[in-house]
């Protein structure tokens, strides 16, 4: 006997979600930058070989080194399939090879020619648009290997020539300016976040007093209405229902203020792990604290506990992460006018993970690379754009990862993966 239609549909949907969760790509800002670098490098490496070999011949050129560069760049075209660790390793190897090593080696072998002097400077500018720590490591590794290779090929005397040495102050100044500019942007971003946090705290304080007053008055009226002898029962019930709805909205606003304050506090505090946290306890705390708009909305959220697990973190920050995900998921369901939310605790998986699944409006493909970017929100009026960026920052501080798999108008799956214990 076949199972009922709704049961078969549930199983089919569950199978679809399971197959989608096998996807381990991470369409975030770092992945997009790798893809751009890979595309440019794959085209530029052979193109400039032709230019410098045939149209404007240089003293030295190397097809094998170009081919290795093309191979490295072409590998980056598959960055969507990389894990976070693999992505970081790829960036270090490729950046070290292309910008410091290849450009410096060609600069030395061509005896500091004008073409390679300018090429090397442009390469360093591109390099230091990546993370400063990564850029410094790549610069040290690549430059050291380029100098060693030049010495091994008998071009060591070029290292101490005036043409080479006079470029060092220019290169170092360029690196310092780019690093300082990047730090300035980060400081401005932190100041903006701190200002938002202070603003949220002020707004919360100003809203608390009138909300508390309204809540107290509604409670008094409800007691009076319950005790009063009202002849018209329909009118009495209508008034009581209206007052109850006002009271619910007041409590809902108070809960949302709590969420804003938690997020604002998390922006300014130390994010590193200080305790061992139970994922089941965190999820249960979120389900109790979240201000559901109605019982129907509350019942649309289902918890599936496959296997509990513990992770190094902070309980209150973990609540912040899940409250933000819950808020986004329920908003997606509300915008779509359909769907539900599933929270899956899967400690038996390697690595342990939490799945936040909603079958609401989903996320458009063109927005997937932007959702974790700070101050980005979609639709534009849908919040301040710090929720998912803060979630990612907290997770990375714990050595964990958050990523999203989505299909527009169908579903969104946020996958939180934690270090195996």
Does position 130 have pLDDT exceeding 50, yes or no? yes
H-state helical runs in 153-278? 162-165, 167-227, 233-268
Q: Are 304 and 409 part of one and the same domain?
A: yes
Pairing outcome for strands 411-417 and 353-358: antiparallel
Query: Contact 395/402 with Cβ under 8 angstroms?
Result: yes
* Each residue's pLDDT tens digit, 383-414: 555 678 888 888 998 999 999 999 999 999 99
Q: Confidence class of residue 192 from pLDDT cuts 50, 70 and 90?
A: low
141-159: average pLDDT = 93
Cβ neighbours for 390, distance < 8 A, ≥ 6 positions apart: 263, 266, 267, 320, 321, 324
Q: Are 37 and 136 part of one and the same domain?
A: yes
Q: Residue 380: inside a domain, yes or no? A: yes
Q: Residue 11: inside a domain, yes or no? A: no
Q: Are 284 and 421 part of one and the same domain?
A: yes
Pairing outcome for strands 341-346 and 301-307: parallel
Decide which of 19 and 319 is more confident: 319
Q: Are 195 and 250 part of one and the same domain?
A: yes
Chosen domain end from 218, 252, 268? 268
For the question of whether the overall pTM of this predicted structure is more than 0.75, the answer is: no
Least confident of 46-60, 346-360, 362-376: 362-376
Q: Residue 20: inside a domain, yes or no? A: no
Give residue 82's domain range: 29-165
Whichever domain contains 294, its CATH number is 3.30.565.10
Q: Are 343 and 262 part of one and the same domain?
A: no
Q: Are 262 and 396 part of one and the same domain?
A: no
Geometric angle at alpha carbon 134, from 130 and 135, rounded to 5°: 60
Chosen domain end from 221, 247, 268? 268
Using a CB cutoff of 8 Å and minimum separation of 24, what contacts does 380-389 make? 382/331, 384/196, 386/193, 386/196, 386/263, 386/267, 387/263, 387/324, 387/327, 387/328, 388/324, 388/328
Q: Are 230 and 349 part of one and the same domain?
A: no
Least confident of 121-130, 252-261, 344-353: 252-261
Q: Residue 6: inside a domain, yes or no? A: no
Q: Confidence class of residue 23 from pLDDT cuts 50, 70 and 90?
A: very low
Q: Are 65 and 118 part of one and the same domain?
A: yes
Q: Residue 18 has what pLDDT?
A: 45
Q: Residue 250: inside a domain, yes or no? A: yes
Element (H, E) at 406: strand 401-407
* Each residue's pLDDT tens digit, 92-106: 999 999 999 999 999
Q: Residue 120 has what pLDDT?
A: 94
Q: Residue 412 has what pLDDT?
A: 95
Q: Are 43 and 116 part of one and the same domain?
A: yes
Backbone angles phi, psi at 305, to 5 degrees: -95, 100
3-state secondary structure of 219: helix
Does position 45 have pLDDT exceeding 90, yes or no? yes
User: What percentage of the chain reaches a pLDDT higher than 70?
Assistant: 73
Does position 50 have pLDDT exceeding 80, yes or no? yes
Q: Residue 182: inside a domain, yes or no? A: no
Give CA–CA dist 135/139, Å, rounded.
6
Q: Residue 23: inside a domain, yes or no? A: no
Q: Residue 108 has what pLDDT?
A: 94
Q: Are 245 and 334 part of one and the same domain?
A: no
Chosen domain end from 149, 165, 181? 165
Q: Residue 83: inside a domain, yes or no? A: yes
Give CA–CA dist 165/163, Å, rounded.
6
How many structural domains compose the chain? Answer: 3
Give CA–CA dist 72/58, Å, rounded.
24
Give CA–CA dist 338/362, Å, rounded.
11
323-342: average pLDDT = 92
Helix-, strand-, coil-residue percentages of the chain, each rounded to 5: 65, 10, 25
Q: Are 50 and 133 part of one and the same domain?
A: yes
Q: Are 138 and 233 part of one and the same domain?
A: no
Closest to 123 measured CA to CA, from 31, 186, 56, 40: 40
Does position 378 have pLDDT exceeding 70, yes or no? no
């Amino acid at each position: 006997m076949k199972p009922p239609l709704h049961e078969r549909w549930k199983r089919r949907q569950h199978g679809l979600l399971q197959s989608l969760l096998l996807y381990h790509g991470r369409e975030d800002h770092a992945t997009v930058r790798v893809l751009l670098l890979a595309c440019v490098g794959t085209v530029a490496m052979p193109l400039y070989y032709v230019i410098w070999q045939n149209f404007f011949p240089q003293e030295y050129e190397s097809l094998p080194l170009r081919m290795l560069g093309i191979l490295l760049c072409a590998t980056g075209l598959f960055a969507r399939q990389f894990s976070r660790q693999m992505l970081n390793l790829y960036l270090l190897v490729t950046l070290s090879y292309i910008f410091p090593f290849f450009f410096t080696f060609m600069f030395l072998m061509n005896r500091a020619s004008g073409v390679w002097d300018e090429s090397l400077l442009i390469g360093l500018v591109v390099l230091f648009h990546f993370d400063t720590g990564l850029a410094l490591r790549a610069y040290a590794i690549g430059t050291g290997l380029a100098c060693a290779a030049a010495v091994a090929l008998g071009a060591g005397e070029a290292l101490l020539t005036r043409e080479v040495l006079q470029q060092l102050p220019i290169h170092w100044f360029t690196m310092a300016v780019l690093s300082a500019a990047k730090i300035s942007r980060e400081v401005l971003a932190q100041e903006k976040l701190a200002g938002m946090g202070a603003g949220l705290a002020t707004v919360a304080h100003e809203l608390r007093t009138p909300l508390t007053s309204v809540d107290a008055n509604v409670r008094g009226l409800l007691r009076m209405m319950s005790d009063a002898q009202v002849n018209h029962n329909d009118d009495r019930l209508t008034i009581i229902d209206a007052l109850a709805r006002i009271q619910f909205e007041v409590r809902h606003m108070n809960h949302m203020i709590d969420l804003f304050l938690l997020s604002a506090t998390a922006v300014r505090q130390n994010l590193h792990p200080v305790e061992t946290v139970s994922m089941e306890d965190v999820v249960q705390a979120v389900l109790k604290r979240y201000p559901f708009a109605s019982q129907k909305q509350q019942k649309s959220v289902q918890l599936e506990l496959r296997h509990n697990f513990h992770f190094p973190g902070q309980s209150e920050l973990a609540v912040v992460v899940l409250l933000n995900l819950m808020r986004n998921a329920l908003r997606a369901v509300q915008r779509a006018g359909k769907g539900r939310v599933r929270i899956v605790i899967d400690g038996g998986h390697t690595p342990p993970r939490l799945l936040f699944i909603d079958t609401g409006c989903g996320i458009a493909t063109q927005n997937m690379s932007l959702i974790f970017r700070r101050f980005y929100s979609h639709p534009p009026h849908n919040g301040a754009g710090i929720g998912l960026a803060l979630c990612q920052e907290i997770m990375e501080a714990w050595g964990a990862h958050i990523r999203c798999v989505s299909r527009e108008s169908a579903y969104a799956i946020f996958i939180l993966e934690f270090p195996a214990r």
